[in-house]
Structure 1
Amino acid sequence: MQIVDHVEQTDAARPPSPRAADWFWRPWYAKLYWATALLYWIGLEFMIAIPYDRINTSVANTMVLLIFIFDPITVVAVLGYGFLKAKVACGDWVIVPWSAPQRPLVDPTSDPFDVRSGDLHLRHIGVVQD
């Protein structure tokens, strides 16, 4: 009978798979970002209730420009960048290189952009004469 003192682990070299909550909620900058986004959207709701002629124009313009910074999609994209890097680093996701799409083979007689297609490439009505 053979006693084994150690067990080989193939996953020992790989870091553990990151959780989304560790990147979207736990860091201080994520909490700050979510808190300022919440305050922005609450402040925007109050600004909508105020008539536009009573609001300072520069404040209103700034609030409109901040929509792009505190948009929920932007918040997820900014905070998700680190999560994406961690997922790739641990090997869960693989980034494949981009390749140029191949142009499908088109019959030259039916391609409106090919001169060999006859009058089909002359799309302007004034060009095609009866």
Structure 2
Amino acid sequence: MDTDTKTVVHGTGQPQRKLADWLWRPWFAKLWWIAIPAWWVGMAVSSVVAPLESFYDSALAGFLNVLFFPMTALMVLGLGFAQQWLARRPIYGDGEGSPQFDINPDPFWSEIGTRKIGHPLPLVDMYDPRSGGLFIGNPESFQHPDRS
């Protein structure tokens, strides 16, 4: 294993490539990074050379401006690094199989398929006791008949 370009990811034993390996090592990355300054130098020269000016004013050149924008190359070439970096992180829980939080973020989600059209969630239904302070039978509710 080449120690100067790869480090071992803890727990997996697989080598992890550095960001520079994704941004510069592939042949197409080198070609792209070399073409970017060539494109922008050509655009600067187009202000004095008429045939280049007509090309750089075209719609195709507008699309190529996006292709040869350095941030576009950085995002596209860095995508492989981001995927590898996210793949080595646990998707759920602490990585050992246990969840980090044992809460139900939406206790009424299971009722989505059983409710009829036009019926609100119990959370906002003033006739449902599960709606808390909104429930009409709650003495603290503003809709309670005995509230003065």
Q: Confirm whether residue 31 of structure 1 aligns to residue 27 of structure 2.
A: no
Aligned equivalents of 2:29, 2:62: Cα separation in 1: 22
Unaligned runs of 5+ in 2: 1-8, 93-148
Deviation at 1:41, TM superposition (A): 1.2
What's 2:76 paired with? 78
- Bigger RCO (CA 8 Å, 6+ sep): 1
Distance verdict in 2 for CA 1:94–1:79, change over 3 Å: farther
- The aligned runs of 1:1-130 (5 Å cut-off) are 11-50=10-49, 54-55=50-51, 59-60=55-56, 61=58, 62-91=60-89
SS at match of 1:86: helix
Aligned equivalents of 2:22, 2:68: Cα separation in 1: 17
The letter of the residue matching 1:30 is A
Deviation at 1:65, TM superposition (A): 2.7
Unaligned runs of 5+ in 1: 1-9, 96-130
Aligned equivalents of 2:46, 2:61: Cα separation in 1: 9
Distance verdict in 2 for CA 1:25–1:56, change over 3 Å: closer
Percent identity between the aligned chains? 30
Count, aligned residues = 82
Deviation at 1:19, TM superposition (A): 1.1
More helix by share: 1
Question: Aligned Cα RMSD in Å?
Answer: 2.8
What is the TM-score of this pair, normalised by structure 2?
0.46
Distance verdict in 2 for CA 1:58–1:46, change over 3 Å: closer
What is the TM-score of this pair, normalised by structure 1?
0.52
User: Is residue 17–residue 90 contact of structure 1 (8 Å, CA) maintained in 2?
Assistant: no
SS at match of 2:47: helix
More strand by share: 2
